[in-house]
């Protein structure tokens, strides 16, 4: 497969790169390119290697582990992950629109970048460090991820997540969330005319202090 960078169909081989990929040159305008390169915004990885890297990341292999096993620089691995993620986000926003649903369950996946919120506040770190949450909306019967949103666990990001879910669905359906209070306002603003809304609140009793810590993010 050869992907041209111009509108002309007349081209010829023009040597190869250090990694062995064939280069091509347009005989009319003089532009040159490498096969597959344009598929990854100029990154020097072929389709087979890109599939291998993404598959390893999806299976939970770390960036450094993927770099060691494939022989690809870790910055290239990170760049490919960001590129594929952006294109997946664009694809979902374009195709997952006004889909019928029966029972949607929402939750948040907690993680932190560099350090937890308490440490970031204590050490006065700035930027995108600290706690972050990935909001997810999964249709219980089909297991389809209908909408997601990455951000903080606050009212603003909850509203944006509910807006995405509204755009992705049509008809009336059951919506279940945890006890996060901002969901009530988000549903009222964007979903109140199309959902039967309910909150599922888990109660843990007779827990030790260590057990309570394991089921919650840092202070």
Between CA 35 and CA 43 the distance in angstroms is 11
Q: What is the pLDDT of residues 18-47, one digit of tens each?
A: 666 777 888 888 777 766 555 666 676 777
Distance CA 188, CA 103 (A): 18
Phi, psi of 30 (to 5 degrees): 85, 0
Q: What's this model's pTM, rounded to 2 decimal places?
A: 0.72
Element (H, E) at 33: strand 32-34
Dmax (CA) of the chain: 77
Distance CA 119, CA 123 (A): 6
- Measure the CA–CA gap between 102 and 175, rounded to whole angstroms: 9
pLDDT digits (tens, 9 = 90+) for 70-116: 999 999 899 999 999 999 999 999 999 999 999 999 999 999 888 98
CA 206 vs. chain centroid, Å, equals: 37
Q: Quick one: CA dihedral 198, 204, 209, 212, positive or negative? A: negative
Which of 202 and 178 is assigned the larger pLDDT?
A: 178
Q: pLDDT band at residue 212, thresholds of 50, 70 and 90?
A: low
Distance CA 75, CA 66 (A): 11
């Amino acid at each position: 497969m050869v992907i041209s960078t111009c509108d002309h169909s007349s081209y010829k081989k023009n040597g190869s790169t250090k990694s062995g990929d064939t280069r091509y040159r347009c005989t009319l305008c003089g532009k040159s390119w490498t096969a597959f390169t344009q598929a990854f915004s100029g990154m020097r990885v072929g389709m087979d290697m890109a599939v291998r890297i993404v598959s390893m990341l999806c299976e939970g292999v770390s960036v450094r582990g993927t770099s060691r096993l494939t022989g690809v620089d870790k910055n290239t691995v990170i760049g490919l992950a960001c590129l594929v993620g952006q294109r997946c986000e664009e694809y979902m926003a374009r195709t997952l629109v006004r889909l019928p649903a029966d029972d949607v369950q929402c939750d948040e996946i907690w993680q932190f970048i560099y350090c937890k919120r308490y440490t970031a506040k204590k050490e006065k770190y700035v930027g995108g460090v600290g706690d972050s949450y990935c909001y997810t909306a999964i249709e219980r019967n089909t297991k389809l991820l209908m909408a997601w949103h990455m951000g903080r666990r606050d009212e603003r990001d909850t509203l944006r997540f509910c807006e995405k879910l509204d755009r992705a669905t049509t008809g009336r359906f059951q919506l279940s969330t945890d006890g996060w209070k901002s969901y009530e306002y988000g549903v009222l603003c964007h979903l109140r005319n199309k959902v039967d809304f309910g909150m599922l609140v888990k109660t843990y009793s007779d827990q030790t202090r260590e057990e309570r810590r394991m089921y919650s993010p840092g202070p």
